[in-house]
Structure formats: structure tokens, C-alpha cells
Homo-oligomer: A and B are copies of this chain.
Amino acid sequence: MADLFNRRMVAFDILTDIRAATGSWSGEVKRALQRRSAMRARFGILTLGVDDLERSLKFYRDGLGLPTQGIVGQEFEHGAIAIFHLEGGMVLSLFPRGDLGLDAGIDSTPRSPTEFSIGHNVSSEAEVDQVMARAETAGAHITMPARRTFWGGYAGYFQDPDGHLWEILHNPAFLPSAE
């Protein structure tokens, strides 16, 4: 404990010296201080704004085979939502575009596929091909067939019924550490 206390005091002295010498915090120190009050580096839910909840549910549940209890929250006005509990505690949900707007306090806006893409990194190039084939069977629009990429991986893109982009990729560097 005493040692930790001493090291903290020395660190404080060093920072104070820098401040005195330079007249202001350097960018490095500023960023370090900011990180101390940073928001936790995570998110756990991705909500897709959709035009037709039933159609999107069908695509994700029956087409891609993702697990869900179907549409819930119908007891609330503007509350109907489909929720998918994914691996690692992540949640994917489908929420009518207008209701997302209402909830967020903004006007509903039309579709725009380059707003974002969802990256699904799989274990092999063969699995990329399998998922792309599955998506195509499910009615997805393939915008870019799987091919070798400039960054040295293998990837393809498809769009869900609302045009939301999914990139199915094989990039060993980004796989969860368990694999």
C-alpha cells in the first residue's frame, strides 16, 4: 500500500512539473485525464430501424435463423419490438423506424444503406461462403459477393429487407480470443 501511495505521489509530482514547465497540459496528458471520466468502452445493443417489423422478423428469424421470442412489447403504444439475444450477451433488436424516431425525439427518416454496416467475422472463408449463401436464400440482396479483400481477408456484403448492410468476413486478427 505504501509503495502504491508513493508511486502515486511521484506521478502527481511529475504531472505538476510538466504543467508548470509547459503552461498547459500536453495533448497526451489531456487525453489521459479525459479517459479517467470516459464512458465505458462498450455497447451491448444494436437497434435496427425497420419499415415492416413482421417482414424483418421473418428475415432474421426464419431466414438467417437467429433466436428470438418474436415480437414483444405490443402492450405499449409504439412499443412493439423484436429482440434477438446473441452470443456474448449482445442484443440485436428490430424496431419500427417511426417508433425509433419517436423514442429518440427525432423525425423518421428514409433508408440510407451507407449509415453503417454490421460486421460478422467468421472462422473460415468456407463459412463466409455458407453465410452468404444462407442470406441469399433468405432473400437478402447480395451487393458484393465474397472475394479476397485489399486488407488481406475474405469478405462479402448483403443487405437485409431495409437495406441495412451486413459484411460477412474472415479476418483472423479480429476473431474473439476464444477461437
Q: How far is the CA of A45 from the CA of B130 in the complex (A)?
A: 19
In contact, B42 and A167 (Cβ under 8 angstroms) = no
A148: interface (CB < 8 Å)? no
Counting every copy of the chain, the complex holds: 2
Interface residue? A23 (CB, 8 A)? no
Find out whether the CB atom of A44 lies under 8 angstroms from the CB atom of B120.
Answer: yes
Secondary structure type dominating chain A contacts? mixed
Docked complex: A60-113 residues within 8 A CB-CB of B: 61-62, 64-67, 73, 76, 79, 84-93, 97-98, 100-101, 103-113
| 26 A-B contacts (beta carbon < 8 Å) | A31-B62, A34-B65, A35-B67, A38-B65, A38-B66, A38-B134, A41-B66, A41-B86, A41-B87, A42-B87, A43-B86, A44-B175, A46-B117, A47-B167, A49-B116, A79-B151, A97-B114, A101-B113, A104-B114, A104-B144, A105-B157, A106-B114, A109-B112, A109-B115, A112-B112, A115-B164
Which residues of A come within 8 Å of B, CB atoms? Answer: 30-31, 34-35, 37-49, 61-62, 64-67, 73, 76, 79, 84-93, 97-98, 100-101, 103-122, 130-131, 134-135, 143-144, 150-151, 157, 159, 162, 164-167, 169, 174-177
